[in-house]
Structure 1
Amino acid sequence: MVEHVAAHTRFVALGDSFTEGVGDPDPSLPNGVRGWADRVAEQLALTDPRTEYANLAIRGRKLVQVIDEQVEPAVAMAPTLVSLYAGGNDILRPRVDIDALIAGYDDAVARLRATGADVLLFTGFDSVASRVFSRTRGRTAIYNELVREVADRHGATVVDYWRFDEYDDPRMWDVDRLHMSTRGHITMAGRVLATLRHEHTLEQDPLPALVPVRRLDAVRANARWTRQHVGPWIVRRVRRTSSGRHLAPRRPVPTPVAVTTIAHGPDRAPSTGIGV
């Protein structure tokens, strides 16, 4: 278990869209997103302005791509704290060999831990409340148990996304129903900081009670979601292209977190989204 964050932290975030920040738009930042990892870095920097942060995550990356493209650059950065979450894009594919995935994942975690860095790993989200993604629930449960074994073997720390019941609320999700909304990213940042036992100043207005959606409105929303998000996703799978194929890492080298970035004041997340 991570007992504390080093006085001078060099935080390197690895992974796919979850860590890149998709679903939390900010046109002023590279790739147009912010995300939970930025917010964690900002909170660490409030404690120590010398904190450095790199984010190598790119949307659409499968686990082997994350390992091949991001792990060695991260090792070269001599991090003190590394986050790694990948495999969700593999689980969504028609076929996946989870044991083979975890074999490579295990080796990657071993290399990251060999740097002396604290390593944060994530379980996958429990999609039981989703009519669409609940079909992958069994795969995710197997993946999660193997991730926990890897963490135990190498002394890494697990951020147990599977057990975060607040994500059953559809407002925690972006309109694509696949990525966290701004509220979801802020909440995840708080969860990560709690795992690190690091105090934070993140704030959000309480969510009002959910208003029942009329059946006709739900049907229309589902049709719109299918047209705008599911269709393009299927086309990319058929063409074997990635949503991140033309993107570069948002923060390719560790740099201090700018004071102007953390001076935006308390986070206030909008209540958006219609369901997953």
Structure 2
Amino acid sequence: MISRFVALGDSFTEGVGDDDPGSPNAVRGWADRVADQLARHGEVAYANLAIRGRLLPQVLAEQLGPALEMKPDLVTLYAGGNDLMRPKVDVDTLCDDYDAAVAQLAATGATVVLFTGVDGVEDPLFRRMRGRTAVYNEHVRLIAARHGARLVDMWALRALRDRRLWSADRIHLNTHGHTLIAATVLDALGVAHSVTPTPLDERVVLDRRQQREQNLRWAREHALPWLGRRLRGESSGDGLRPKRPTLSPLTPRGRDQRG
């Protein structure tokens, strides 16, 4: 039985895109949903150290040590997505560090869950990252096999190609997307759960004019501000603290005892 769950990573694990004013940092996300479901099977303590905008070296430098000190029996780790979006990245060196971190986590006896990156083949921008993402994913698959980690293969989740599972910025999952990932993680753990992704109607095909208008709106409202932060050396996570920096108990019904 899982009793100490620690989630590590960036915005994906923090829950960005799944807005919830009642949650820490005003986001919920797949990891919170997983923790709630685990708590239905017994007493669970949960920490989420993820912070949006973090690069893989930052995730490991800031979160690995505290996670090891918590002695979890379940750890989820996803990092590297922000690195892959940079103009230049050494994927091999990046994944050497990732491998070393997973080795430390696995050596504790904890169940470790890793994630591949999403296949952005249907998005004009993220299609350009497809090659480096595929290389990263092969490293992650090998790391998972080497250390006996569970793998959530988001590259193979074709449902994630549907833009309706993503928020308006096209970078973060929305509530539908986070719900799908929560169900997939719980399935990978073999945990019975009641998380059901929302069925979506058949996708509406946009004509070229509609696509162009949508892309221009996205560029104006999301891409340009993101680029501006990069040029200024800023991150969306600057000044933020982890949403759940310490292990805190959840009731068996999946609600935080702090209310």
TM range (shorter): over 0.9
Q: Which residue of 2 aligns with 1:25?
A: 19
Task: Determine whether 1:157 maps to 2:155.
Answer: no
Task: Determine whether 1:66 maps to 2:59.
Answer: yes
| Rounded Cα–Cα distance in structure 2 between residues aligned with 1:213 and 1:189 | 29
Residues 37-48 of structure 1: matches in 2 within 5 Å?
37-48=31-42
Q: Which residue of 2 aligns with 1:15?
A: 9
Structure 1 position 217, deviation (Å):
3.0
Alpha carbons of structure 1 residues 207 and 262: separation in structure 2 relative to 1, 3 Å: farther
Question: Could you list the per-position Cα deviations for residues 198-217 of structure 1 after superposition, in whole angstroms to 9, with x for gaps in the alignment?
Answer: 11111344211112224333
- DSSP 3-state at the match of 1:236: helix
Task: Determine whether 1:91 maps to 2:84.
Answer: yes
Residues 76-225 of structure 1: matches in 2 within 5 Å?
76-225=69-218
Structure 1 position 219, deviation (Å):
2.2
| Rounded Cα–Cα distance in structure 2 between residues aligned with 1:18 and 1:25 | 13
Question: Could you list the per-position Cα deviations for residues 50-88 of structure 1 after superposition, in whole angstroms to 9, with x for gaps in the alignment?
Answer: 111100000000000000000000000000000000000
**Amino acid of the structure 2 residue aligned with 1:10:** R
- DSSP 3-state at the match of 2:59: helix
Structure 1 position 260, deviation (Å):
7.8
Structure 1 position 224, deviation (Å):
1.4
| Rounded Cα–Cα distance in structure 1 between residues aligned with 2:87 and 2:227 | 12
**Amino acid of the structure 1 residue aligned with 2:19:** P
| Rounded Cα–Cα distance in structure 2 between residues aligned with 1:236 and 1:133 | 19
Q: Which residue of 2 aligns with 1:267?
A: none
**Higher deviation after alignment, 219-228 or 243-252:** 219-228
Structure 1 position 132, deviation (Å):
1.0
- DSSP 3-state at the match of 1:116: coil
| Rounded Cα–Cα distance in structure 1 between residues aligned with 2:239 and 2:34 | 26
Report the RMSD for the aligned CA atoms in angstroms.
1.5
Contact 2:114–2:144 (CA under 8 A) maintained in structure 1: yes
| Rounded Cα–Cα distance in structure 2 between residues aligned with 1:153 and 1:219 | 45
Identify unmatched segments of 5+ residues in structure 1: 1-6, 264-276
Identify unmatched segments of 5+ residues in structure 2: none
Alpha carbons of structure 1 residues 160 and 204: separation in structure 2 relative to 1, 3 Å: closer
TM-score, structure 2 as length reference: 0.95
Contact 2:74–2:110 (CA under 8 A) maintained in structure 1: yes
**Amino acid of the structure 1 residue aligned with 2:38:** L
Task: Determine whether 1:231 maps to 2:248.
Answer: no
**Higher deviation after alignment, 107-116 or 11-20:** 107-116
| Rounded Cα–Cα distance in structure 2 between residues aligned with 1:232 and 1:211 | 28
**Identity of counterpart residues, as a percentage?**
54
TM-score, structure 1 as length reference: 0.89
Structure 1 position 47, deviation (Å):
1.0
Structure 1 position 8, deviation (Å):
4.2
Structure 1 position 223, deviation (Å):
1.4
Alpha carbons of structure 1 residues 8 and 157: separation in structure 2 relative to 1, 3 Å: closer
- DSSP 3-state at the match of 2:22: coil
| Rounded Cα–Cα distance in structure 2 between residues aligned with 1:73 and 1:168 | 34
| Rounded Cα–Cα distance in structure 2 between residues aligned with 1:208 and 1:262 | 31
Q: How many residues align?
A: 256
